[in-house]
Amino acid sequence: MLKTPPEGFFVLTGGPGSGKTALVEALRASGYSCSVEAGRGVIQHQVAIQGPALPWLDPILFAEMMLSWEMRSYDLAKQTPGPVFFDRGVPDVQGYLQLLNFPVPGHIRRASQIFRYNPSVFIAPPWKEIFRQDRERKQDFDEAVRTYETMRETYTALGYRLIEVPRTSVQQRLGFLLNHVPAA
């Protein structure tokens, strides 16, 4: 039986380098359905095709591509039985633009209202000890902290209740998430 969104849609957000990807990989390895992070996916595709929708070339186009990716992930998740974990959600696009001090277009604000998730959103706090830059993650730790704060503000303003993920081992964080997800 397919779930009725948004109750079964759980977002994991936060700043870059806070352990979200490792946690999503652990969820996936445990048999849960998970989305692919839009930002990382868009960057990988755009680099492969030498496209312009990269945060360091055209942040507005990058945001539009992330929005499209997130909405598509949401629609695909509707066909998935059981809970689905999203590595970021539509509101992260709004938060990204706010972080950069760009105006948030009305259609992105509407998308954040229309594409709703479970009222409880998991947020991974900045974690300097595990923070690393890589090919897609070019932000420094200070920007990671600002991103976390912006996502906290964005999701709270949209009426979500934030649950901070503890800075512990991946297995302990996995247990923490699953303890907060009904019928997981």
Instruction: Determine which of 59-68, 102-111, 123-132, 145-154 has the lowest per-residue pLDDT on average.
Output: 123-132
Percent pLDDT > 70 in the chain is 91
d(CA 34, CA 166): 20
Q: Report helix, strand or coil for 123.
A: strand
Percent pLDDT > 90 in the chain is 74
How does pLDDT run across 43-84, given as a tens digit for each residue?
999 999 999 999 999 999 999 999 999 999 999 999 888 899
**How much is the pLDDT for 182?**
75
CATH number for the region 9-179 comes to 3.40.50.300
d(CA 34, CA 102): 29
Q: In this model, does residue 110 exceed pLDDT 80?
A: yes
How does pLDDT run across 1-29, given as a tens digit for each residue?
444 567 899 999 998 878 888 899 999 99
Angle between helices 59-77 and 90-99 (to 10 degrees): 160
Q: Strand 120-124 vs strand 33-34: parallel, antiparallel, or unpaired?
A: unpaired
**How much is the pLDDT for 136?**
55
**How much is the pLDDT for 19?**
84
- What are the residue ranges spanned by the domains of the chain? 9-179
Q: Count the Cβ atoms, other than its own, within 10 Å of residue 129.
A: 6
Q: pLDDT-based confidence at 143, cuts 50/70/90?
A: confident
